[in-house]
Amino acid sequence: MTATTWKFTAKEIVEKPELFTSGHRACAGCGSAIALRQIMKATRGPTIVTNATGCMEVVSTIYPYTAWKVPWIHTAFENAAANASGIEAALKAMKKKGKLHESVDVIAFAGDGGTFDIGLQALSGAVERGHDFLYVLYDNEAYMNTGIQRSGGTPYGASTTTSPAGKVLLGKAQLKKPIADIMVAHEIPYAATASIAYWQDLVRKARKGLEVEGPAFLHVFSPCPRGWRYETNKTIEIARLATETCVFPLWEAKEGDYSLSPQSKIIAMKPERKKPVTDYLKTQGRFRHLFKGGAEHMLQDIQKIVDKRWSRLLRRIREGS
């Protein structure tokens, strides 16, 4: 399977059958449920999904019900990538023996806990071996399924149940792990960031990940109203702000060469359109403590971190051009 330029219209996407359906138990305004629905619109034929323990596994398959219209496997927190490797290897063996005559895509879904932390070893091993599957990280920036504990994907300064804001610490004291860059460093064929606020970009990148030969990684920004503490109708607005402030810029890397997606490219061309990070932070209760006085230095630090990572991304793109 080689990558092609897949063109689609909004009408085609709307009319395509739902493979992640309504009836699941996700919270109102759940960004991850939106992400899964959009990504499954990018499928191109028979598809098998493996899903690590986490929010989307729990809400979509409460026995005896399921929201999935494709073969679906629940696996443990730590081994979605290993499971996807086994599925892909089995499909390859069946083709070699003449027992399978059609192409079947494999998608692994996992949250930030199962990707940044618990599942990183299995993921690293799977992509190093070159297994042909799409790994999707739906990133809600904490262990939401088990009580909103901090993860390696939780941003600096965020208050969670295990990094609570108080007199001693003002939220999480460590930086968010640059997981997509770590995957690019594995020299895989395709890696990208995407956001539910820009569904066409997300669907197109998911399709690219399915089309390339070898492993592909898609990091999807998925706000969580319960864990981030905001009104449920603000999910898309907050996701959009994350990109407009460069907290979560959109890019893709093909064979290690970075390029900006249109939404972030506009900001690179017109820096005056880049919004201050406080526009994003003030929308969420998990950062409320930063605006009560005495935390001005943290707000300045967060802005510096965002600016530094944005500048680094632009430098990588310039060096690759």
pLDDT at 237: 98
Q: Give the mean pLDDT of the chain.
A: 96
Number of domains in the chain: 1
In the predicted model, is pLDDT for residue 9 greater than 90? no
Going by pLDDT thresholds of 50, 70 and 90, the confidence category of residue 255 is very high
Q: Which of 5-9, 87-91, 317-321 has the highest mean pLDDT?
A: 87-91
Is residue 135 within 8 A of residue 217, CB to CB? The reply is: yes
State the Cα–Cα distance between residues 20 and 59, nearest whole angstrom. Answer: 12
Mean pLDDT confidence for 105-125 = 97
Asked, for residue 52, whether it belongs to a domain, the answer is: yes
Q: What is the mean pLDDT of residues 238-251?
A: 98
- Segment 30-51 shows an average pLDDT of 97
> What one-character DSSP code corresponds to residue 68?
B
* For range 139-146, the mean pLDDT: 97
Q: Can you tell me which residue has the tokens 């956001």?
A: 195
Task: Report pLDDT for 6.
Answer: 81
Q: Where are the alpha helices (DSSP H) in 97-198?
A: 120-129, 179-184
Asked if residue 252 belongs to a domain, the reply is yes
Order of strands, sheet of 251-254, starting from the edge strand that comes earlier in the sequence = 72-75, 47-52, 105-111, 134-139, 216-221, 190-195, 251-254, 257-260
CA–CA dist 110, 81 (Å, integer): 9
* Domain limits for position 191: 10-320
Q: Give SS3 for 12.
A: helix
The CATH number of whichever domain residue 199 belongs to comes to 3.40.50.970
Q: H helices within the chain, ranges in order?
A: 10-15, 31-40, 55-60, 80-96, 120-129, 179-184, 199-211, 225-228, 235-244, 262-269, 277-281, 296-320
Burial (Cβ within 10 Å: 0-12, 13-18, ≥19) of residue 106: buried
Structure confidence by residue, pLDDT tens digits, 190-229: 999 999 999 999 999 999 999 999 999 999 999 999 999 9
pLDDT for the residue 1: 40
In the structure, what pLDDT confidence band is assigned to residue 321 with cuts at 50, 70 and 90?
low
pLDDT at residue 271, as a whole number: 97
Per-residue pLDDT tens over the stretch 16-34: 999 999 999 999 999 999 9
Determine the pLDDT at residue 26.
96
The per-residue pLDDT for 85 is 98
* Cα four-point dihedral sign 227, 230, 234, 238: negative
Residue 11 has pLDDT above 60, yes or no: yes
How far is the C-alpha of 52 from the C-alpha of 64, rounded, in Å?
A: 18
User: Residue 86 above 80 pLDDT?
Assistant: yes
Q: pLDDT (tens digit, 9 = 90+) per residue, 158-185?
A: 999 999 999 899 999 999 999 999 999 9
* Residue 12 confidence (pLDDT) above 60: yes
Distances (CA, A) of 262 to 9, 183, 259, 268, 277: 17, 22, 10, 10, 20
Residue 173, in any domain of the structure? yes
Averaged over 114-121, what is the pLDDT?
97
Q: Is residue 2 part of a domain?
A: no
Is residue 140, in this structure, part of any structural domain at all? yes
In a domain, 4, yes or no: no
In a domain, 141, yes or no: yes
- In this prediction, residue 4 carries a pLDDT of 58
Q: Is the dihedral of CA 24, 30, 32, 36 positive or negative?
A: positive
SS3 content of the chain, % helix, strand, coil (to 5): 45, 15, 40
Q: Is residue 5 part of a domain?
A: no
DSSP states of 213-231 as a string?
Answer: SS-EEEEEE---HHHHT--
Residue at token pair 């993921």: 123
Residue 2 clears pLDDT 50, i.e. is over it:
no
Summarize the confidence of residues 248-259 as an average pLDDT: 97
> How far apart are the C-alpha atoms of 304 and 148, rounded to whole Å?
26
One-letter identity of residue 36:
L
